[in-house]
Structure formats: structure tokens, C-alpha cells
Amino acid sequence: MGKIQCNFCGSERYEERRIEYLYSHQGKYLLVPNTPVEVCLDCGMIYYDAAVLKEIERHFFAILHNDEKPDSYIEMPAKAYG
């Protein structure tokens, strides 16, 4: 198996982190705290595992179709730029 290399800067230095991911689809959103990502330590590019994104998408549509309940709801203010 070859070394993983950043597609943006070519670095081979990565770190696993957890972030808040905001999934959006047709004006509807799902905030996913604690999402695992790989971050390039040289340029900051973030890489998501395809299986993680598919699982987030699955949860989104299950919640949308009332097959699953979200952990919680949040209220978020909105303000247009300019």
C-alpha cells in the first residue's frame, strides 16, 4: 500500500481530528458533531472518508422521512451578507 499524499500540497503529514460537519440538501440541514476527518498538517486540507459521508447521508434521510429521531434540535439565526 502506498503512502497517502495531500491532493492539494503533496504533504504526507496527516492527523485525525473530530469536527462539526453540516450536511445540507435542498435547504434542509443536519449538524453532525464529532465527525472524524483527516487533516493535512501542512495546508489544512480536510479529507472525509466516503463511508462516514454515506452514513451521515443515511441518517439525514432517515430523519427527514421520520424513520429516525435526531439527538436534539438547535435554533440558528441567519443574516445575509451585505
- Residue 29 inside a domain? The answer is yes
Say what the pLDDT of residue 45 is. Answer: 96
Domain count within the chain? 1
* CA 26 distance to own-chain centroid: 17
- Residue 9 inside a domain? The answer is no
Which residues span the domain enclosing 46? 23-64
Give the Cα separation of 2 and 23 in Å (integer): 31
- Residue 55 inside a domain? The answer is yes
Say what the pLDDT of residue 1 is. Answer: 40
Give the Cα separation of 16 and 39 in Å (integer): 6
Predicted TM-score (pTM) of this structure: 0.84
| E strands present in 1-82 | 14-25, 28-40, 46-47
Query: How does pLDDT run across 22-64, given as a tens digit for each residue?
Result: 999 999 999 999 999 999 999 999 999 999 999 999 999 999 9
- Residue 52 inside a domain? The answer is yes
Say what the pLDDT of residue 54 is. Answer: 98
In terms of Cβ atoms closer than 10 Å to its own Cβ (0-12, 13-18, 19+), residue 40 is buried
- Residue 51 inside a domain? The answer is yes
Of all residues in the chain, what percent are helix, strand and coil, respectively (each to 5)? 20, 35, 50
